[in-house]
Amino acid sequence: MKVSDLVKEFQLTVFSGESGLDREVEGGYVSDLLSDVMGFSRENQVWITLQTHQNVVAIASLKDLAAVILVKGFRPEERMLEHSNNEGIPVLGTSLSTFEIAGKLYRLLCPEEILPPAV
């Protein structure tokens, strides 16, 4: 699955970093503590957050993350946009909350983990 597939599937806004839309997605990570993401996120994960600071892209780049999704209609700060374009890391947006978009992403990426409804 590619970042561009997520954009289509969830109708995400593409704010910046278009050159990275064909990056491969292998999972997700949810946190608003950047130190936590620095320590525990893994390569090719999509990072869901409400933080809009320039450091978000720097950390996504450092950890080789596939993309960043900003929740609840948050928009990236100017410096974040610049970094995103320079680094080719897409910054995407949704009006959904973290819970909702993380649930949808999990369902899409890990369908085998979701138990069928009890009959």
Partner 1 sequence: MKVFRADLHIHTVLSPCGDLEMSPRNIVEEAARKKLELIGITDHNSTRQAEVVRQLAHQRGIAVLTGAEVTTREEVHCLAFLPDEERRLLFQHFLDEQLPVIPNSEGRFGYQALVDASDNILELEERLLITGLRAGIGEVEQEVHRLGGLFIPAHIDRSVNSIFSQLGFIPPGLHFEALEITRFVSEESARQRFGIAEAVTLTASSDAHYPQDIGAACSLFYMHDLSFAEIRLALLGRDGRKVMPQPKENR
Rounded CA separation 68/81 (Å): 11
Q: How far is the CB of 35 from partner 1 (least distance, A)?
A: 5
Q: Which residues pair with 69 in a beta bridge?
A: 48, 92
Range list of β-strands (E), 1-119: 13-16, 27-30, 45-49, 67-70, 91-93
We find the least distance from the C-beta atom of residue 53 to partner 1, in angstroms, to be 6
Nearer to partner 1, 38 or 108 (CB): 38
How many whole angstroms from its chain centre is CA 42? 12
CB of 41 to partner 1, least distance (A): 11
- Cβ at position 29, least distance to partner 1 in Å: 14
- The residues of the shown chain that bind partner 1, judged by CB under 8 A, are 33-38, 51-55, 58-59, 77, 79
What whole-number distance in Å separates Cα of residue 100 and Cα of residue 59? 24
**Cα 63 off chain centre by:** 13
